[in-house]
Structure 1
Amino acid sequence: MFERLLEAARELEDASVLPDAPELLLPAVPDEFTLDDVRSLATEVQDKSVSSASSINPSDLTVRVKIAYAEFCFQDTTAVLAAVYVVLKSDKVGIQLNDDGAHNIVLEDIALRVGQMMVPVCSGATFDQDSTDYASLSHNGLLGLQILILLLPLTSRGGLVLPTGTLLSVIAFSNRDDPWASSSCSELARSLLSDYFQTISPPQATKPKPVALPPPRSTRDAGAGSRPSEKTPKTEQARFITEDVLTGFLRPLFAKSRPSTVTASGRPAAFPEPPSRYSQGDGFGGADDVTVTKPWKYTQRYAVTVFEWAVEIADTDLIQGHWPLYTPILLTLLDEPQPTSLKLRALSIFRKFWRLCPEGLLSRTGLVNVFEEAVFPTVLSLPSLTPEDESCDLLAAAYPALFDMAGLKDPDSGVAKNRDVRAENTNDQEASDKRNLHSTRFSEAQRKLFDKLVREGIMVGYHHAKQHIRLVEFFCQTLRRLVIGMGILSVKYLKDIVPMISEILVDPFGTKYPPVLLSATHLLQAVLQTCWPRMPHYCNEIIKIAMLCWLNIEDEESFPPNKPTKAELKLQLTKAIEMLSAIMAAAKQDMSDRVCPLIAKDPQLRGLFTGYEAK
């Protein structure tokens, strides 16, 4: 019946134009057909697969053979999806609908077939030699989503219940950053999922109960134990996440690659075994073996997208009741070193998961140390083993995740963005007391993590990669955020921080890259703001640092035209000296005897030491 339509669809050069121009194939649509005919059309690819598979020797059914055959069926799959889309778009099937609901079974079968055809299975066995046709995957996904949108209004009473596999295929296109999902696919998928779960009712409806507001977080968390609650999810979306996504789909995919630090039930292992030195990395068992043990990394990469969606859609109550379903998968992703894109995505998912976890839950379960050990090694992804660009991306993702674990608020304000520091009046004793009081509220575990971040993270990274100027800038920004967050606790690190600032600001070649000078100056201001009780001891050193940096800026003739400008750098240095002057005045010490001889020696310093006159 649809042979002419299929032939026209196969001859169509670009199937992506169909959602906007379905009239290209409308002339080939039959005048009369039923929903059963549409279902037969949707099974066209599956029927060919069965007939072709019967001629293949079972001993030859390796992963590579399956991948090659999937590539062979790509073109015909796109043609069938295009034909189904145009058939439904023609509205000629509308005369077959009735109100008895019998056709819902046929619609669900069509949705199942469409979901099977649009699933983005990657054919590349490795990332280095990826032969996946992402354009075809994107076209199939866009057509499949459009078909599902057309199917949903065709249902009668009760609505159309989409099969689990079809919903997973829709979720696979919910992230526009995936190579198989365009921005239009992502918008359609998210809109379809939102509308579907708002209208669908749970399979076993219960008597409605009055909605009560959730208790305050502190009250709810106070009674939370280490074991997850066994409550049944209240909504169909929650049931779908816990039973169909996490348990039914993701757990089998990640079962063979779960790290030894966590058990299959999601709890920390009592006696974790260190991984063998000969089992690190992929490829020792062959490409086929790797795709079997880590299908989520190779052929079924959309599993990461599905897990990310399961974290984004969850709420605190769902995480509290079912956290063991999340932790093994999340730790598996965090322990995977390559590729960089997967590592960055795992860190992003972890931050979302951490913020949804009830306060103190992971501490009581003993998983905090497990996650810390999984995340912290990323901060040592430094050149030359890691390219500078990748290192900057990895560090920018790892440190904010560790900030969340350490309890620092709003880490992005001081790490990802280079903002000006608003210099506060250090004579305001009340404000200083509040900062100091806040810094004493950190637990012993948080203070240990601060120690590790500064000494084993930032300082090790700086001294190892100080020749990479972009990394130096990042370390200054990150250390500034830590200093502000720790408050007076950062005093213990002054013997390391002040020499680092000095080395950066007094470098005569620092003016070739002004952003690093600005970041170091902001770090100096943060040190003056939080560690002011110890600053009189470092007064001479700070004056020397600011003076030499000021002279280097003044002597630079070919200053880079981009921001920050020479005037902006000088302004920030002046603010730092003003803060130091206020600190010394509060300590009842006069800086005139130290500054005035410098101004007399070099009048260029008059703009730095504003208010001081040479004697």
Structure 2
Amino acid sequence: MDLKESRRLARRYIETITASNPNPTGPQILHPPDGQTPSTAALVEHLGLPHLEGDKLQIYESLVTLETYLAQIPSLGPDPREQSAATFLREWVANAILPSEAFAERPLYSAAARSELSPDDVAKARAMGVKGLLLLSHLRRLDPPPQDGPDGPDTAVLTCLAAFSDKNDPWNSSNAQEQASNLIKDYTRSSHLPSMLTSILQKRIKALFSRTVNPAITPQGRKAINPRPSNITMHSDLDAEMKPWKFRDVYIITVFRWVLQCLDKSSVQANWPLITPPLLALIDDSSLEYKITGCNSLFNLLEKCPSALLERTGLGEVFEDAVMPCLSYLPSLTEEPDSLRILGAAYPVLIQLALARFPDERKYAARIKALDRVLRNGIVKGYAHAGDHVKIAELLVHQTTRLVNEMGTEFVRHLKYILPLLSANLASPFATVYPPLLQASVISIQAIIVNHWPRMSYHRGEIMRGLSTCWCRIKDCEVESKEHLQIQQGMENAMRLLQAVLQSDVDVAEDYQILVDSDPRLRDLLVA
């Protein structure tokens, strides 16, 4: 077996992988010269894998060589050394193809040298990820995963597969994600999956988040009675050792998200002390990307989290305190695209948190109070800073509609603030330039009419002002688009709703006729 020649050919193949040619053909020439495939144990020994560390090119060469040879092995021999070699290879490959530190953020003001990945380097890393996953597929065929427990190399393999579960990660590709998805099915069908998930949380995730301590919670995952001031805030973004999950082993965030998706309700309770510290570390991080990841992860967790657990541990309030500052990421201090992303993650999780903490009617008042805080600290203040950012205003209107429906009649105290804002959106001189904001505002007004019909006799003037002005502006447009027609239909429905709920209190026909006499363009809107 001429492994020296095999390595040379593997290196030549790796050199052909570039950003413009990420999937070159080959290496089909790597075959045993004598026609006899070497044993797995012999490959491990001759490649020197137990002593191979650090040199990325040598690791890549070994992956290519191993994948080519193992693809030709029909089965493992009866020799116990073959089983041991396959077990070793699974763990070695799983660790070898994990994304390197170069994919992680660089610590602020860091003077430490760190190689920057060129587009060709990224292409090589992605290609080797695919090679490694193919190699794991060969090993699964030769030596199926054991079913006797969660410990051993299969925790490492499952961690590796989870690291390739999100194709949007910079180290991942659609081919790698597909390979990982196929391999991971063996584990998700296993009765030992809960134990393996706990093992990943305990041995991998906890170890990387151990220095990112949140003083608001205890090691048992409960709210701290007398939280101590944090001593890591000043230095945490300056020192890579404080946040290895951010500055070194960045793949662990993807692994953590995947673990949360796999946990069921009973597993969430059993692993609560292992879940909450990483979750809060992400939400509290200074980086917007990690805050968004933390909010989205918390939203998914709340769907599986019993309200009794939040109440018993006191972490419902801790989560709210952590997420609420995200509502202040508004223009112009935050770029509009970034603001849309963080607000789009924070509002749903805060609303879901209020519903999860107080699900039944016995805690109705507490639920309304929590939703009220979201409205006052988020929607109202957000409008004050939205300015001309119509996409921000659209997002706030959508969240307002959600709050109207969730709060029901309790929203009535906010009508005097919210209705003028919605009416202003509709009456703006440039409103027709961005139809989605008009559509969202009309839908929100419809929700208000349905939920607060007893108060519409008092607020009908504000509603009619906004709808009438918007109708006229659309009529003045030279070309009425499909979106404009949908908005007009929505306004007609809103007017019909308003007329229906006012029939017993006010005769709106007279009001409508006055408006039509003043502007005939309103006839189609106001006259059935």
Q: Compute the TM-score of the two structures, normalised by the length of structure 2.
A: 0.89
Kept in 2: contact 1:254–1:294 (CA 8 A): yes
Name the amino acid aligned to 2:262.
I
1:480 to 379, 401, 408: 401
- In structure 2, the CA distance between the partners of 1:564 and 1:390, relative to structure 1 (3 Å rule), is same
1:456-467 paired onto structure 2 within 5 Å: 456-467=377-388
1:191 to 175, 182, 197: 182
1:119 lines up with 2:75 in the alignment: no
Pairwise CA distance, 1:261: 1.0
Partner of 1:171: 162
Tell me the SS of whatever aligns to 1:120.
coil
Pairwise CA distance, 1:185: 1.4
Partner of 1:577: 495
Instruction: Output one character per residue of 1:251-305: Cα deviation in whole Å (capped at 9) or x when no partner.
Output: 121111122111233222121234479717622xxxxxx2211010011001111
- In structure 2, the CA distance between the partners of 1:594 and 1:512, relative to structure 1 (3 Å rule), is same
Pairwise CA distance, 1:101: 4.9
Partner of 1:323: 272
Q: Distance in 2 between matches of 1:156 and 1:539?
A: 70
1:311 to 260, 263, 267: 260
Name the amino acid aligned to 1:115.
A
1:492 to 404, 408, 413: 413
1:390 lines up with 2:390 in the alignment: no
Partner of 1:273: 228
Pairwise CA distance, 1:14: 4.1
Q: Distance in 2 between matches of 1:186 and 1:299?
A: 22
1:75 lines up with 2:57 in the alignment: yes
- Say what the alpha-carbon RMSD is for the aligned residues: 2.8
Kept in 2: contact 1:439–1:488 (CA 8 A): no
Q: Which moved more, 1:568-577 or 1:295-304?
A: 568-577
2:135 to 125, 130, 147: 147
Tell me the SS of whatever aligns to 2:307.
coil
Q: Distance in 2 between matches of 1:306 and 1:29?
A: 41
Q: Percent identity, aligned pairs only?
A: 29
Name the amino acid aligned to 2:5.
R
Tell me the SS of whatever aligns to 2:116.
coil
Kept in 2: contact 1:439–1:489 (CA 8 A): no
Partner of 2:367: 446
1:136 lines up with 2:53 in the alignment: no
Tell me the SS of whatever aligns to 2:61.
helix
Tell me the SS of whatever aligns to 2:211.
helix
Tell me the SS of whatever aligns to 2:483.
coil
Kept in 1: contact 2:16–2:24 (CA 8 A): no
- In structure 2, the CA distance between the partners of 1:579 and 1:440, relative to structure 1 (3 Å rule), is farther
Partner of 1:25: 29
2:422 to 501, 519, 534: 501
1:88 lines up with 2:7 in the alignment: no
Tell me the SS of whatever aligns to 1:578.
helix
1:549 lines up with 2:466 in the alignment: no
Q: Which moved more, 1:140-149 or 1:19-28?
A: 19-28
- In structure 2, the CA distance between the partners of 1:25 and 1:162, relative to structure 1 (3 Å rule), is farther
Kept in 2: contact 1:331–1:374 (CA 8 A): yes
Q: Which moved more, 1:519-528 or 1:172-181?
A: 172-181
1:604 lines up with 2:521 in the alignment: yes
Q: Distance in 2 between matches of 1:468 and 1:130?
A: 39
2:483 to 546, 564, 588: 564
Q: Distance in 2 between matches of 1:278 and 1:7?
A: 49
Instruction: Output one character per residue of 1:335-375: Cα deviation in whole Å (capped at 9) or x when no partner.
Output: 1130x332222222111111111232111210000011111
2:300 to 339, 348, 352: 352
1:358-437 paired onto structure 2 within 5 Å: 358-407=306-355
Pairwise CA distance, 1:127: 7.5
Instruction: Output one character per residue of 1:230-249: Cα deviation in whole Å (capped at 9) or x when no partner.
Output: xxxxx42211221x211111
Q: Distance in 2 between matches of 1:144 and 1:328?
A: 31
Q: Which moved more, 1:258-267 or 1:388-397?
A: 258-267
Instruction: Output one character per residue of 1:352-408: Cα deviation in whole Å (capped at 9) or x when no partner.
Output: 111111232111210000011111111111111110001011111111111211228
- In structure 2, the CA distance between the partners of 1:497 and 1:7, relative to structure 1 (3 Å rule), is same
Kept in 1: contact 2:393–2:437 (CA 8 A): yes
1:238 to 170, 180, 194: 194
Q: Distance in 2 between matches of 1:511 and 1:439?
A: 42
Q: Distance in 1 between matches of 2:67 and 2:230?
A: 50
Name the amino acid aligned to 1:103.
E
Pairwise CA distance, 1:584: 1.1
1:260-299 paired onto structure 2 within 5 Å: 260-275=215-230, 279=234, 282-283=237-238, 290-299=239-248
Kept in 1: contact 2:22–2:127 (CA 8 A): no
Name the amino acid aligned to 1:303.
I
Kept in 2: contact 1:470–1:516 (CA 8 A): yes
Q: Distance in 2 between matches of 1:157 and 1:248?
A: 20
Pairwise CA distance, 1:24: 2.1
Instruction: Output one character per residue of 1:509-563: Cα deviation in whole Å (capped at 9) or x when no partner.
Output: 111212211111111111101010111111222222222222222223366x5x5
Name the amino acid aligned to 2:124.
S
Q: Which moved more, 1:294-303 or 1:165-174?
A: 165-174
Q: Distance in 1 between matches of 2:457 and 2:39?
A: 87
Name the amino acid aligned to 1:24.
Q
Q: Compute the TM-score of the two structures, normalised by the length of structure 1.
A: 0.77
- In structure 2, the CA distance between the partners of 1:555 and 1:30, relative to structure 1 (3 Å rule), is same
Partner of 2:111: none
1:594 lines up with 2:511 in the alignment: yes
1:540 to 429, 444, 461: 461
Tell me the SS of whatever aligns to 1:384.
coil
Could you list the runs of 5+ residues in structure 1 that have no partner in the other structure?
50-69, 200-234, 284-289, 410-437
2:172 to 168, 181, 189: 181
Partner of 1:109: 88
- In structure 2, the CA distance between the partners of 1:30 and 1:274, relative to structure 1 (3 Å rule), is farther
Instruction: Output one character per residue of 1:44-92: Cα deviation in whole Å (capped at 9) or x when no partner.
Output: 4x5354xxxxxxxxxxxxxxxxxxxx5xx2222211100000011123x
Partner of 1:418: none
- In structure 2, the CA distance between the partners of 1:260 and 1:198, relative to structure 1 (3 Å rule), is same
Partner of 1:522: 443
Kept in 2: contact 1:260–1:273 (CA 8 A): yes
Tell me the SS of whatever aligns to 2:222.
coil
Pairwise CA distance, 1:22: 4.9
1:97 lines up with 2:97 in the alignment: no
- In structure 2, the CA distance between the partners of 1:148 and 1:18, relative to structure 1 (3 Å rule), is farther
Pairwise CA distance, 1:446: 1.2
Q: Distance in 1 between matches of 2:328 and 2:193?
A: 39
Kept in 1: contact 2:187–2:193 (CA 8 A): no
- In structure 2, the CA distance between the partners of 1:440 and 1:546, relative to structure 1 (3 Å rule), is farther
Tell me the SS of whatever aligns to 1:261.
coil
Partner of 2:3: 2
Kept in 2: contact 1:41–1:80 (CA 8 A): no
Kept in 2: contact 1:74–1:136 (CA 8 A): no
- In structure 2, the CA distance between the partners of 1:29 and 1:84, relative to structure 1 (3 Å rule), is farther
Kept in 2: contact 1:501–1:524 (CA 8 A): yes
